[in-house]
Amino acid sequence: MRDILQLMVVLFCLPGTWAQGESEEAHQGLQTSGQTSTDIWVELRALRDMVVEQKVELTYTKAELQTQRDKVASLEKENAQAAELAALVCRVTTSEKDVTALREELNLSKNELLLSKSRLDNIEKAIAGSPKVAFSAGLTTAGKIGPFNIETPLVYSRVFTNIGESYSPITGIFTAPVKGVYYFRFTAFNNKKGEWMAVNMYHNSQRMLHNSELSDVHSFIANALILQLEKGSVVYMRLHQGNGLYDNASTWNTFSGFLMFPL
Ligand SMILES: *[C@@H]1O[C@H](CO)[C@@H](O)[C@H](O)[C@H]1NC(C)=O
Ligand SMILES: *[C@@H]1O[C@H](CO)[C@@H](O)[C@H](O)[C@H]1NC(C)=O
């Protein structure tokens, strides 16, 4: 640019210089005047060449400027893409957090499911492992029993059910096959008016109940106990001394029991 300005200054100033030169040359003579004119033309050509050169340089500069502009545009585009990428990364991170939360929830459900399954397995095992115990027997079809001077074992000989064979119809004794909670029930009957009937239920050597009734034409006693038994514990019924019962095919007197659950 400075070069162009210099050139313009030179061009504007040229006529004056020229005139000045001419007037000086007039004093110096014709020979020197012709020499000066040639120099100016040479200088002018040089200047013109310089202008052309500057033009070319300007074209290059413009091209370079365009290149720089393109680069800036490209960089801006890249910048925009980077911002978009950052937003995308942010979204992906959020999604990842969601997935983690869901995974934790799933894990929780899975753990609950496993717990339920384990409980179910335990129940199934308990059911499979628990022995099946249930018995029910009638006393006799023979009619009158007692009274006796001493307390006498009641042997319920008419077995209806004896799952697990834990009840003996020979001795009338039930023996617990496993530690557990058992349910026992009996009925007692007498039909001799004015005679007392009384029965006792024993757990091993301990009398658990003593139920009595002064008989009318038809008299009944019934009761039940839930007992916690150790394995091998025995439960049985006895007829109290001086008391009578009556039984026949109608099954008035029964002794029943079953295992509710093992312990
Ligand atoms: C899933 O739960 C188990 C038991 O609570 C725990 O040990 C494990 O680290 C959990 N896994 C995940 C991915 O949360
Ligand atoms: C059984 O006993 C009841 C009550 O005493 C009596 O009514 C019934 O006739 C008896 N049955 C037999 C077959 O003896």
Query: For 158-186, how does the pLDDT look when each residue is reduced to its tens digit (9 = 90+)?
Result: 999 999 999 999 999 999 999 999 999 99
Q: What range defines the domain where residue 27 resides?
A: 2-81
What CATH number does residue 218 fall under?
Answer: 2.60.120.40
Helix, strand or coil for residue 252? coil
Ligand nearest the Cα atom of residue 248: 2
Residue given tokens 């925009």 in the structure block: 80
Distance CA 191, CA 189 (A): 7
| Closest residue CA from atom 12 of ligand 2 | 248
Is 17 a domain residue? yes
* CA 88 to ligand 1 centroid distance, Å: 30
Amino acid making up residue 19? A
Three-class SS of residue 148? Answer: coil
Mean predicted lDDT score pLDDT of the chain: 89
Q: How far apart are CA 197 and CA 194, in angstroms?
A: 10
**Structural domain includes residue 248:** yes
216 plus 150 within the same structural domain = yes
Closest CA to 166 of 135, 205, 208: 135
Per the listing, tokens 């019962």 go with 245
pLDDT band at 142 (very low <50, low <70, confident <90, very high): very high
| 69 and 139 together in one domain | no
- Specify the DSSP element, H or E, that contains 16: helix 2-28
**Do 59 and 167 fall within a single domain?**
no
Average pLDDT for residues 76-104, to the nearest whole number? 94
Please tell me whether residues 145 and 253 are part of one structural domain: yes
Cα–Cα distance for residue pair 137/256, rounded to 1 Å: 6
More confident residue, 3 or 244: 244
> What DSSP letter does each residue of 27-83 carry, written as one string?
HH-HHHHHHHHHHHHHHHHHHHHHHHHHHHHHHHHHHHHHHHHHHHHHHHHHHHHHH
Shared-domain flag, residues 139 and 256? yes
Nearest CA to ligand 1 atom 6: 107
| pLDDT of amino acid 11 | 53
Q: Which residues line ligand 2 (CB under 6 A)?
A: 191, 248-250
Last residue within a domain, chosen from 81, 113, 146: 81
Together in a domain, 73 and 156 = no
Task: Say if residue 66 is in the same domain as residue 139.
Answer: no
Could you identify the atom of ligand 2 that is nearest to the CA of residue 249? 13
Who wins on pLDDT, 209 or 14?
209
Per-residue confidence (pLDDT) for residue 28, from 0 to 100: 53
For residue 206, pLDDT over 70 is answered with yes
Taking only the tens place, the pLDDT of each residue in 21-53 is 444 544 554 555 677 888 899 999 999 999 999
Give the whole-angstrom CA distance, residue 130 versus residue 122: 12
Q: Give residue-wise pLDDT tens across range 213-237.
A: 999 889 999 999 999 999 999 999 9
